[in-house]
Amino acid sequence: MHNLATLAMNWGWVIMTSMPAIYPFTAIVGQERMKRALVLNAVDARIGGVLIRGERGTAKSTAARALAALLPSVEVVQDCRFGCDPAKPTTWCTECKERAAANGNKLPTAERPTPFVNLPVSATEDRVVGTLDIEQAIQKGERHFEPGVLAAANRGLLYIDEVNLLDDHVVDLLLDSAAMGVNVVEREGISFAHPARFILVGTMNPEEGDLRPQLLDRFALAVEITGIREPRERVLIMERNLAFEQDSDAFRQEWLPKEQELSRQIERARTIVDQVTYSSRDLLSIAALTASLNVDGHRADLTILKAARAQAAFDGRTAINDHDIALAAELALPHRIKRTPFQQAEISSDQLQERIEQLAGQAVPDDTEGSESSSEPAPAEEKKT
């Protein structure tokens, strides 16, 4: 795992040239849902990001920075401005594809730390997606692309504080890129494409205004957090923060074994997440759950499946179960459940798992047992609950 200080790499205006000491992720007290949502996105960025809503001083930004610091280094195409993945040539940027064609499809590789990009609230569309120099293209016949935030964030973590204050159009662009994994810029018949696969983390204080429902739904996972009320845990927060302020290096060294352990667990999960299988019964359980809660659209169903697979991979398993689905639904549904002003959208994973088991027993016909998953046969040990 790379050293926490390496996050101070110079990535232009979007990453600070020097960063304060980063508080260890594993030292954060409580806020388990928030930490789980972040870790699942770290396992599989295709989940689509997480929105963390809560009052001030609840470690929202601390958790985002800490997650980026413990993520394993990534292998990239050497000298690529966009950090293209050497193992996935179909996702390469326009420049890498042209270089590969000129060099017999062989490009040198290098390693770099996972980037952390902090998007300012004042960011414009051009600063986010990048710009094409049309004048240079017309006068010299050369295509020149100036990368934006999406390029710097590729294969890293893109953090937006006060996302509710960001222009809606810019939020749309970010969410589109997070979902598609690619950024395409076209102007006057000239186009440039590069990969834009990143962990999107947005934080906000609802007291300062909420996101439009359309944008809220497009965040794959959402977590509502509040300050911890248990006195002993509040004391622990104070003690750890004082120790960190007194000697941040010693404090990080103390937590380094746990940070390394979590980093290795995420890295292992990334290698097996695509191998995680699911049965027809699992899909029916997810569909029955979202239908019973009157969730609009189908984005929630897909999100639950992706997050459940990431949860299984994180636990070292290659097949999902009802508990994985419940844990995923706990993060994917609260911001999508319709509610009146007097109804609570909060629902625990235990309640969700109980509902899943009830629905599975009612909705899944006998002939689905042992039916094929979308990739491999369902595990033989799965039985109707």
Contact 64, 202 (CB under 8 A): no
Spot the catalytic one: 99, 240, 299, 336.
299
Give residue-wise pLDDT tens across range 203-224. Answer: 888 777 777 766 777 788 988 8
pLDDT of residue 313: 94
Q: Please, which contacts does 130-136 make with residues 24 or more away whose CB atoms are closer than 8 Å?
A: 130/183, 130/185, 130/192, 131/185, 132/185, 132/186, 132/187, 132/190, 132/192, 134/187, 134/188, 134/190
Point out which residues pair with 187 in neighbouring strands. 190
Q: Is 68 exposed, middle or buried (0-12, 13-18, 19+ CB in 10 A)?
A: buried
pLDDT of residue 312: 94
* Annotation marks residue 299 as catalytic: yes
Domains in the chain, CATH or no CATH each: 4-73+113-225 (3.40.50.300), 276-368 (1.10.8.80)
**DSSP codes joined into one string, 328-376:** HHHHHSTTTS---TT------HHHHHHHHHHHHHHHS-GGGTT-B-SSS
Helix 299-314 crosses helix 248-272 at what angle (to 10 degrees)? 110
Give the DSSP H/E element, type plus range, for residue 111.
strand 109-112
pLDDT of residue 188: 66
Reply yes or no on whether the pLDDT at 356 is more than 80: no
pLDDT of residue 140: 57
Q: What's the pLDDT band for 137 if we cut at 50, 70, 90? A: low
Residue 166 or residue 260, greater confidence: 260
Who contacts 191 (Cβ-Cβ below 8 Å, separation ≥6)?
184, 185
Q: What is the mean pLDDT of the chain?
A: 77
Q: What's the pLDDT band for 40 if we cut at 50, 70, 90? A: very high
pTM > 0.85: no
How far are the Cα atoms of 85, 119, 136, 141, 166 from residue 127, in angstroms, in the given order?
23, 10, 19, 24, 13
Reply yes or no on whether the pLDDT at 341 is more than 70: no
The proportion of the chain whose per-residue pLDDT surpasses 90, expressed as a percent, equals 13
Residue 131 or residue 26, greater confidence: 26
Residue 164 or residue 367, greater confidence: 164
The number of residues making up the chain comes to 385
Q: At 325, is the secondary structure helix, strand, or coil?
A: helix
The least confident of 126-135, 147-156, 351-360 is 351-360
Closest Cα to residue 224, out of 210, 238, 240, 241? 210
Q: Which two tokens stand for residue 4?
A: 């926490």
Return d(Cα 282, Cα 192) in angstroms, integer.
40
Contact 233, 30 (CB under 8 A): yes
Average pLDDT over residues 276-288: 90
How far are the Cα atoms of 186, 258, 376 from residue 310, in angstroms, in the given order?
34, 20, 17
Return d(Cα 172, Cα 175) in angstroms, integer.
5
